[in-house]
Structure 1
């Protein structure tokens, strides 16, 4: 990988083994459509995979696995809009692989959202043709895709044939382990050729019956030559146009292809094919489409960029410059998955983006890592994405009733209508065996939804959302947890037969997973439940009296049920066991301490990569449930989501003493037992270490930035980006290293930049104000942009300021490398201290006198 500045992802040379990865990393999208960066002359094979996906475009098919019929819902690969190939004289149309590439450069301009490809091809007869391409998926008009190709014959003259069209003969084939399953989601297309020069295709999803239409307009400028012939074909599997042009060596001809895509779920449309044909005719030209598209991206970057400067060599440290580029690449793909065009669509945000077929495009818990960036930048997106959950509240209630529970039980994987989409079996590629998939037991997904509602409310103070959607969502999730908790003889409550985020453990060793599956008292799940049930009262208190009464009457919530919420929130079990150092640490689940220690050293000698240790052990006939191993952070998710004060508040409420020393030891204990089998794991661990070991935190942050670009999981990125990890790395810079937190309507800062970072600049929205944040190793400056908005409170280490639009405050930072282990008494004393009078212009607070 190369780079041009900090805005261009560039690849020199063509590498067939890396093509799938590059197709994903250079994919283009606008929140409605995402299109992989496959070559225009490529078909699906083991090198290339053209794929274009519609946000929320799902369809279900039944496959036979052994003697079972398995129904899966997939994100559908749409008809391929890219095809454009050439031939010389009477030769065949050249496809990828039919010619020699003399050079190849591919570059993605992140600031403009434009992909360029430049190469020289030599055919079997030795004729060399230069191909220079620009491509976009419009961020201005979510229905438009376009590409421009400049073709130059270098050592030959003759007839150049150009064939461009829309290919309807596509299937879902992008994930190797899914290929044995049914993947033909599109009906035979209807193709048309209009007298206005437009060729079009219309098809329909097999089960969901969603209709999709694509229309193409082709323009060829022969640069002094002339067009010899034109022909349009409406074939059984696609619609194409062919043009023959007389060319002269050294003279360049230009080809532009404009495509419009509509579907039957779009707003304000009469019929998809009619709309596609009309829209493609309205686009003036490629340059006009590019100008509007790049302007839209420029406006997005004004809101969403994060800038970091290295502490070495004035920002020219090579690895850190790379970190800036990777950070922007992550923001870029976030905005291609969820953009302003997503707001009115009934879609969630998938962990692999709309970039490929991994996880079948389903919605999972990764929104927990994704929403913080969106909420503090474009909260309207988070609001829309939370409504995806609220619209599926009825299905979650139905699932809870069928399980014998109250409230709403959200599925681990959600798709079109909110039913559980987790597949019942999954393939272990190491052993070749299909195994039961028990990840549906990860009921903590509901707590994540409630957490996201609360965080959105804290950042925006959007009481209308709380009244109309959020409170109902939150309370129904709380009711589910209340009904799931079982009281023991000692008065404590337990939650049984669930799974935590770890995923390597889905039950106890030696037990039948079907009859006795799941784990008891997963610490992360129970902590989240205690937090949800504690906050349920706060949610009710935030509602106006009339709204609260009406909601409680509608849901049938009375004082007795609220009292049960309170009782459970004070008496849930959090299991502990003793670590080898003799310190009591939080147990991942009840019984974790009794599991076998794992031979990490021995396995590292035998296997180059232990990330998917579960697959390795299963292929050896061993059970991951028997060992103290984790795929990713489980207990440590508590430290990722909550501040130390919040953790102590919940544990105090539950009656557990928990010291700073135990936090440090619990962190160390689980870090020694994790395989980082999920890209989310690097993010979580980097965050948890940020206050105690900033060098280690930054190393893990760089690993997280490399997760997709370096394809650290050995081939999974080509199936779709890891959006949760991408968002998490951005949030590390946005919130973790700036120390941003939201406490009682105040935006709190406590920056602790890694030594490798000299300066960090970001922008956040907090309760209708836009705040520019500038952090160095010595100072924190918060400036509010001029606008009409009420003052908000900001604070740094107990020094609170009320900031109004147009004001700016600078704080001198405490320079101390000791862990953040201050006793609560010191926190309370500092919070009670009287602050100096509020300044009326930019001021500098001498906060640095107080050591930690």
Structure 2
């Protein structure tokens, strides 16, 4: 395979693209971290569940970390941190349906041996091929045992695109220079708990209980049921295994790999008579659904399933149709990377997701970082999906609308009205940010105040407007969209604090997108005041709400007046507030927050020399030494500059002018340069945001950040092994598709077909 285009310099070592539709990984000489990173990037999913791209014969604790996750399935557990009882809600790692292994028949008086890479079996060749166009992962393995027997194994795997509860494996076993009996064993590994993220080791990560397992049978079908410990989500899996010209086989005592349910078949193979193993797995979950009911459903799924070859045909046909209707990447030089990102986005959210209650997790359904929660990363995803897959974009918005009641409760908990959308959301839309975070460098627990970020609602309000504008779905804007926008505006109006001396309003005790600055130095009350991004976005949201109210047809205005109790007097106050929120400035630039200029200046180049590592997690580096970035003029990621990405230049200028601030291109350019030299880019989204901002002002650093944005999940150091970064991926897609005029039509030019 040809190497990845030079634009992707620094891609995963051992992973290449042929420039179009296939990505190949050769694990030889690669360490566990690279293999886990590859397992993330070769995850297969269909919007209902997804499974990481590990080997079917991997034991549970091996490199690669097998993991299956279902959209919208969370569970909460309790633990004690620093003497405080804490509840932690997480996406749930489900039982592993992948196990599929072959064994040489045992010689007389001896033990059978597995056809897997081992200290005794020599691996002559091994490669994985991710076929984006057909949605299939291939695993090729060529082995030689101590007796000189050479065998080729080829597994094809698919999480079915049309049948949202089915997955398929097809394994071909082809002897090269021998013949004889083999035994094939397949099953489901029930021994799963969330154990991927080392710094979560202080949490209770056991989420499954109540296991019921089938007995081994001769018909090749086994099943397993369980449920989550607190959310009481029922889970059922069943698999059926068949091999032409085979017979039932009895597995030995003690099942390798810790599988809890399994079935075995025996057959004879020869160079001219390979064995083909078919395994179909059905997986279902259900809130408050009895596991026995789910078991009946998965067994019915298997009873009704077509032949494996037909399943693979319909699956690949569905993926081909998807690509035919997907806009072709505007940046053809990096089309392979952009297709990979489109592939993963489609696996997380699509028409199947629109029929269930699930949001867009920041790390996809690909791993356990951030506990599988929903952040504001959906903002960039909705921007992309609004013009490529409006149904999926609307599903993201509907996830938020269904949690409008929870957002109202969150607002009340902040002594406000309206809707306050949380920084981290999971099952029911409550704020689930854990108030403690562990620094893996020092081993110490630190207070986490990031739940004070009050800008998520503003981003959501603008996402609703953008969706309506790009999809043409004005009905949504005038119904569910308006309900959310009005309630979000109401939150900012009631959360704001009026200063009678200046006539300005303030948003106090907040945290901005930067996250480093969550409390003032030498203060005890968390939060900072008047984060510029939050205040400007709040003002823009208030203006959006006023404009929407004015544009509503009379009957819709009357209905909303009843549904959300909004009226003309309240809207008039929103308009006033949109003109009187305070925005801090200093030295001719927009201040990140009030008092930012009084913080100490610090030279990032000196810090880089001091720590001799990337400064992205400067908070961890400094905390280990008893210091913290909150004391300095330094940002983890784009904060003030997010304004130049979320809002168009015209919108930003108009919003600041409405607030009474003179905002010229020169002021913005000074602001951009000011924060460029103070940002360590500790977020994967930072490169895309900076590329967008810099491109709009024709800054010479724009190409550098664009190249970085496109390869975030392909380069080491971003913890992709713990899950993809959907926000960064979709921001890169939107960035590649956009014209320099941010108000213009995205630069897509039709569709393309694969081979």
TM-score by length of 2: 0.92
- 1:628 has 2:639 as partner: no
- Residue-by-residue CA offset, 1:33-69 (whole Å, 9 max, x unaligned): 1100011111233612110100011011112334332
The offset of 1:233, in angstroms, is 11
On the 8 A contact 1:42/1:96 being kept in 2, the answer is no
Alignment of 1:186-205 (within 5 A): 186-192=208-214, 196-205=219-228
Q: Cα 1:139–1:655, aligned 2, differ >3 Å: closer, same or farther? A: same
Partner secondary structure for residue 71 of structure 2: strand
- Residue-by-residue CA offset, 1:648-693 (whole Å, 9 max, x unaligned): 1111111100111111111111111111100100000111111334
Instruction: Give 1:84's aligned residue.
Output: 100
- 1:615 has 2:637 as partner: no
On the 8 A contact 1:62/1:70 being kept in 2, the answer is yes
Alignment of 1:653-692 (within 5 A): 653-692=658-697
Q: Cα 1:234–1:81, aligned 2, differ >3 Å: closer, same or farther? A: farther
- 1:461 has 2:468 as partner: no
- Which residue of 221, 226, 230 corresponds with 1:207? 230
Instruction: Give 2:3's aligned residue.
Output: none
The offset of 1:121, in angstroms, is 2.4
- Which residue of 643, 648, 652 corresponds with 1:643? 648
Instruction: Give 2:19's aligned residue.
Output: 5
- Residue-by-residue CA offset, 1:62-97 (whole Å, 9 max, x unaligned): 123343322111100111000011221222446664
d(CA) in 1 for partners of 2:272, 2:680 = 56
- 1:242 has 2:254 as partner: no
- Residue-by-residue CA offset, 1:274-310 (whole Å, 9 max, x unaligned): 1111112322222211111111111111222433466
Instruction: Give 1:602's aligned residue.
Output: 606
The offset of 1:234, in angstroms, is 13
- 1:726 has 2:726 as partner: no
**May I ask how many residue pairs the two structures share in their alignment?**
725
d(CA) in 2 for partners of 1:688, 1:434 = 35
Instruction: Give 1:830's aligned residue.
Output: none
On the 8 A contact 1:232/1:242 being kept in 2, the answer is no
d(CA) in 1 for partners of 2:268, 2:341 = 44
Instruction: Give 1:490's aligned residue.
Output: 502
Alignment of 1:421-436 (within 5 A): 421-436=432-447
- 1:505 has 2:525 as partner: no
RMSD: 2.4
The offset of 1:257, in angstroms, is 0.7
Instruction: Give 1:136's aligned residue.
Output: 158
On the 8 A contact 2:415/2:495 being kept in 1, the answer is no
d(CA) in 1 for partners of 2:627, 2:639 = 22
Instruction: Give 1:828's aligned residue.
Output: none
Q: Cα 1:425–1:39, aligned 2, differ >3 Å: closer, same or farther? A: same
**Which of 361-370 and 172-181 deviates more?**
172-181
Alignment of 1:238-277 (within 5 A): 238-249=260-271, 251-265=273-287, 271-277=293-299
On the 8 A contact 1:575/1:587 being kept in 2, the answer is yes
On the 8 A contact 1:60/1:71 being kept in 2, the answer is yes
- Which residue of 582, 592, 595 corresponds with 2:596? 592
- Which residue of 537, 544, 565 corresponds with 1:556? 565
- 1:346 has 2:357 as partner: yes
Partner secondary structure for residue 690 of structure 1: helix
On the 8 A contact 2:50/2:68 being kept in 1, the answer is yes
Partner secondary structure for residue 468 of structure 2: helix
Partner secondary structure for residue 570 of structure 1: coil
Instruction: Give 2:491's aligned residue.
Output: 480
On the 8 A contact 1:114/1:135 being kept in 2, the answer is yes
d(CA) in 1 for partners of 2:61, 2:393 = 37
On the 8 A contact 2:327/2:388 being kept in 1, the answer is no
On the 8 A contact 2:211/2:225 being kept in 1, the answer is yes
Partner secondary structure for residue 343 of structure 1: helix
- Residue-by-residue CA offset, 1:368-425 (whole Å, 9 max, x unaligned): 1111111111112121221111111111111211221111111110111111110111
Instruction: Give 1:826's aligned residue.
Output: none
On the 8 A contact 1:7/1:110 being kept in 2, the answer is yes
- 1:442 has 2:464 as partner: no
d(CA) in 2 for partners of 1:66, 1:684 = 36
Higher RCO structure, 1 or 2 (CA under 8 Å, sep 6+): 2
Instruction: Give 2:11's aligned residue.
Output: none
d(CA) in 2 for partners of 1:400, 1:232 = 59
Partner secondary structure for residue 406 of structure 2: helix
Instruction: Give 1:31's aligned residue.
Output: 47
Partner secondary structure for residue 202 of structure 1: strand
- 1:577 has 2:586 as partner: yes
Instruction: Give 1:540's aligned residue.
Output: 549
The offset of 1:361, in angstroms, is 0.9
On the 8 A contact 2:44/2:50 being kept in 1, the answer is yes
Partner secondary structure for residue 376 of structure 1: helix
Partner secondary structure for residue 429 of structure 2: coil
The offset of 1:153, in angstroms, is 2.5
The offset of 1:556, in angstroms, is 2.9
Q: Cα 1:237–1:525, aligned 2, differ >3 Å: closer, same or farther? A: same
Q: Cα 1:333–1:521, aligned 2, differ >3 Å: closer, same or farther? A: same
Partner secondary structure for residue 422 of structure 1: coil
Instruction: Give 2:393's aligned residue.
Output: 382
Instruction: Give 2:4's aligned residue.
Output: none
d(CA) in 1 for partners of 2:166, 2:616 = 40
Instruction: Give 1:393's aligned residue.
Output: 404
d(CA) in 1 for partners of 2:699, 2:124 = 46
Q: Cα 1:486–1:180, aligned 2, differ >3 Å: closer, same or farther? A: closer
The offset of 1:571, in angstroms, is 0.8
On the 8 A contact 1:264/1:271 being kept in 2, the answer is no
Gaps of 5+ in 2: 1-14, 107-111
- Residue-by-residue CA offset, 1:189-237 (whole Å, 9 max, x unaligned): 2122567542111111111111111111111135xxx547366999996
On the 8 A contact 1:233/1:239 being kept in 2, the answer is no
Instruction: Give 1:711's aligned residue.
Output: 716
Partner secondary structure for residue 647 of structure 1: helix
d(CA) in 2 for partners of 1:89, 1:270 = 37
Gaps of 5+ in 1: 311-319, 579-583, 742-747, 752-759, 764-771, 774-852
On the 8 A contact 1:41/1:96 being kept in 2, the answer is no
- 1:116 has 2:138 as partner: yes
